[in-house]
Chain A
């Protein structure tokens, strides 16, 4: 069973702070890693993908991958109340594009 672990939260941060969301995975052969944002009652929306060790930045979002530690994280700088949502981590493990496990998601609350 391929597992993806996330703390369900809620994670509360003040407006303007850095929010740090974490995810660990069990399959060492995993190659692709994704972060989704899901507002309450809405569908998931892909916000970041990362494939190699290190950092990948896109605007206020930074994804970090450490394959040796089987750890992927998402940093949100200058957090805004509009960032309040549940963030899902997804891992494409070895065996093909359809071999994907999603985490349960971390609920982020940005306090004005």
Chain B
């Protein structure tokens, strides 16, 4: 997976609890992304980062926040998890910000009960 790891790989949590997912890269790529994938929906962009401390919202950012204090790490936080946030979350990296240079991590399966 092109030097991308995600942790945890699986998580079960309860409604209302905070959750943080971590994406770590060893490629030194500038761009990092968080997507979610749900049945009946395509991959949807949550947030992305174009550099340390530089982030922007994607299509489905409500209920999520992100932080990037180091080039290699991009954190996704659900401040108060809801059942609608049950999903598979993919991190991706890109050297130039284009899809043809983008690689996905292995994914995190999150279940909110």
User: A residues near B, CB below 8 A?
Assistant: 4, 32, 34, 42-46, 49, 88, 90, 92, 97-98, 100-105
Q: Is the CB of B42 within 8 A of A102?
A: yes
User: B residues near A, CB below 8 A?
Assistant: 1, 40-45, 48, 56, 58, 90, 97-100, 102-107
Whether A4 contacts B42 in the complex (CB less than 8 A), given A34-B99, A43-B104, A98-B58, comes out as: yes
Cα separation A103 to B90 with both chains bound (whole Å)? 16
Describe A's contact surface by its main secondary structure.
strand
Number of A-B contacts (CB under 8 A): 50
Whether A100 contacts B99 in the complex (CB less than 8 A), given A44-B104, A45-B104, comes out as: yes
The residues of A that contact B97 with a CB separation of less than 8 Å are: 97-98
Q: Is the CB of A98 within 8 A of B43?
A: no
Least CB distance from A112 to B in Å reads 27
The residues of A that contact B107 with a CB separation of less than 8 Å are: 42-43
The residues of A that contact B41 with a CB separation of less than 8 Å are: 104
The residues of A that contact B48 with a CB separation of less than 8 Å are: 98
Whether A32 contacts B99 in the complex (CB less than 8 A), given A103-B42, A104-B42, comes out as: yes
